[in-house]
Amino acid sequence: MLQVYRRHVKSCRFWTGRSTNGNRRNNNCRCPVWVDGFVTGKGINKSLGLRDWTRANVIVRDWEIEGSVQQDSPAAAPVSVACAAFMADAAARGLSEASLKKYRVLLINRHSSCDQKKCSPSLLEVCAGTGIQLTSQIALPELSRFREQWRDGPLSGGKKLERLRCVGRFFMDRGWWKENLALKLKRPRVKDSPTMPFCSASGNWPPTASPNDSARYGFSSSRRSSSRGAPSKRLIPRRCCACPPSSVRKKWLS
């Protein structure tokens, strides 16, 4: 006899605070579904990897009919067919040509021997080089090695990882992956160049702009006619740490 229950998390309203197995009566939530009991004399207490209560009961009923626990293996598809299906779906969704080009670079582009030294390989090239033919053969280590061969900067690599996660979600919805493995890859660390703030209280506001001042203080200069009609350069601060932009403009552009 197998019993299906929800293992409540701390954020759930049915959390008792003592044990995740303490409250098995309430299932009107979205906590993970577990199964507990015996099948042919073997004890089972495991997660079903689901949150759908109806689907979990169907799986447990099939286990009781068969008299054994059956593991559902994900359906496999050739990598080339899966990538082509994603590109066809992306084109059907009306993505721009620039977005489609980025997905082609990630998935299906093929490079010559000369371009391979300076260009990032696509998923098809990596799978062909490692002997992977089916989507079920792509595991997390293979996906990590694929990311290691990217020749992109941190910011571009983060954007590329987002596109890979979209591909993983597409594979998971079609049943080719059991889970989105791309979500387990961490984003690269991006170091932003700091912008030095200035305010009028520091007394470092020169009245006119020159090329050296613009490069030093981080200002953009604009021409504005003075009272006599002659053009003069005024400083427009890009960012101020204390003064609001309106007060800065009134002070230096009036």
User: Which region among 30-34, 48-52, 73-77, 120-124 has the lowest average model confidence (pLDDT)?
Assistant: 73-77
| Structural domain contains residue 72 | no
pLDDT for the residue numbered 1? 78
Query: Does 160 or 197 have the greater pLDDT score?
Result: 160
Q: Is residue 240 part of a domain?
A: yes
| 229: pLDDT strictly greater than 60 | no
Q: What is the pLDDT, as a whole number, of residue 196?
A: 59
Q: 156 φ, ψ to 5°?
A: -70, -35
**pLDDT of res. 20:** 59
Check whether residue 103 and residue 56 sit in a common domain: no
Quick one: how far is CA 29 from the chain centroid? Answer: 26
Pair 100, 168 in one domain: yes
Q: So what's the pLDDT on residue 206?
A: 46
Q: Report the mean per-residue pLDDT for the chain.
A: 77
At 85 the pLDDT is 94
Judgement on whether residues 112 and 37 belong to the same structural domain of the protein = no
The number of domains in the chain is: 3
3-state secondary structure 62-112: HHHHHCCCCCCCCCCCEHHHHHHHHHHHHHHCCCCHHHHHHHHHHHCCCCC
pTM assigned to the model: 0.53
Any domain includes 128: yes
More confident residue, 201 or 192: 192
Angle between helices 154-173 and 79-92 (to 10 degrees): 100
pLDDT over 50 at 166, yes or no: yes
Averaging pLDDT over each range in 9-23, 122-136, 220-234, which range is the top one?
122-136
Q: Does 204 score more than 90 pLDDT? A: no
Residue 38 vs residue 100, higher pLDDT: 100
Q: What is the pLDDT of residues 236-246, one digit of tens each?
A: 444 444 444 55
Per-residue confidence band for 82, with pLDDT thresholds at 50, 70 and 90:
very high
Task: Spell 118-150 as b/e; 16+ CB within 10 A means b.
Answer: eebbbbbbbbeeeebeebbebeeeebeebbeeb
pLDDT above 80 (res 183)? yes
Verify that 151 and 222 share a domain, yes or no.
Answer: no
In a domain, residue 84? The reply is yes
CA atoms of 18 and 33, how far apart (whole Å): 18
Proportion of the chain above pLDDT 90, given as a percent: 26
Whether residue 87 sits in one domain with residue 36: no
* Full residue range of the structural domain in which residue 175 is found: 79-184
**Helix 154-173 and helix 140-148, axial crossing angle in degrees, nearest 10:** 150
With bands split at pLDDT 50, 70 and 90, how would you rate the model's confidence at 147?
very high
